[in-house]
Homo-oligomer: A and B are copies of this chain.
Amino acid sequence: MSLKYAVVGTGAIGGYYGGKLAESGQEVHFLFHSDYEYVKEHGLKVDSVNGDFLLKPINAYNSTSDMPKCDVVLVALKSTNNHLLKDLLPPILHKDTVVILIQNGLGLEADLQKDFPDLNIAGGLAFICSSKIGAGHIGHFDEGRINIGSYSCSEVHILETVKMDLDNAGVETQILDLEKARWMKLVWNIPFNGMSVIMNTTTDKLMNNAAMQELLREIMLEVIRGGNEAGEGRYNIPESYADDILEMTRHMTPYAPSMKLDYDFHRPLEIEYIYTRPIEEAAKYGYSLTRISVLEKQLRFIQAQYL
């Protein structure tokens, strides 16, 4: 029996992964916000480096109370909107639903579990360069993998079905230790998201400056060491991973990370889950993310100037 999917937050991330699943024949129900009317009429268009497609007609909704109960809910909201989940989720949950938080940072699942103690929660990490380029229109420029992992799923086999569905849809998917995967993703997100906002620039300009490159590497090492401490020896993220990530970024096309786009459009920044929680988590294990704390406070100052 095939799974029924819901996408909560149909933007650059949710639109791409949910779109790929729907395009491959899965039943997917999409929650839209401002684009709802447009998409009802024109469908959802995805311009992808792996092939463009148009979902029309599409199962589009502007309220979860109109949606069916689903087996898998892909949450791809900005994490600054996660307080909305308390009201958004109940109409689409049955007792075995798995909610997958496709978001960056630490502590997302723990916060959701507080509101839904019995919910099966998983996390997802998207490795993708995509963005919303217009109403009902998503651009996908590079990468596209996703890593998923269980946080509190009573049965893991459902994640294996999700992986199979994604693989069938042309999305390379791995099932990993969620917390370790989240720390590893932060090795990119913490230096590049914050610094592109603080320096008001793009990844290529950051990489082209020797002093900045050294600082980015120092920050990556803090993340790696913090993660390894928090993993109590189970993660073994090698310090050479910092150099791998630098090398990867050096070969990326010039890129404005999502936090830079949030800053440019004067939207709330995802400081809490990408900076504050990792700092707090490492501190529990006696490790101080000192440089990252500087970035966190600079970001809080910057956000306070326009919010």
Q: Which A residues form the contact surface with B (CB < 8 A)?
A: 198-199, 201, 205-206, 209, 211-212, 214-215, 218, 290-291, 293-298, 300-302, 304-305
Contact = CB atoms under 8 A, between A and B. Distances in A.
Nearest to A294: B294
Contacts of A214: 297
Contacts of A199: 298, 301-302
B294 A215 contact: yes
B209 A304 contact: yes
A205 B305 contact: yes
A297 B212 contact: yes
Contact of A206 (B205, B215, B291, B301): B301
Q: Interface majority SS on A: helix, strand, loop or mixed?
A: helix
Nearest to A211: B300
21 contacts: A198-B198, A198-B298, A199-B301, A201-B305, A205-B305, A206-B301, A209-B304, A211-B296, A211-B297, A211-B300, A212-B298, A212-B300, A214-B297, A215-B293, A215-B297, A215-B298, A290-B291, A291-B291, A291-B293, A291-B294, A294-B295
Contacts of A297: 211-212, 214-215
Nearest to A199: B301
A215 B300 CA distance: 11
A301 B200 CA distance: 11
A226 to B, nearest CB: 14
A214 B293 CA distance: 10
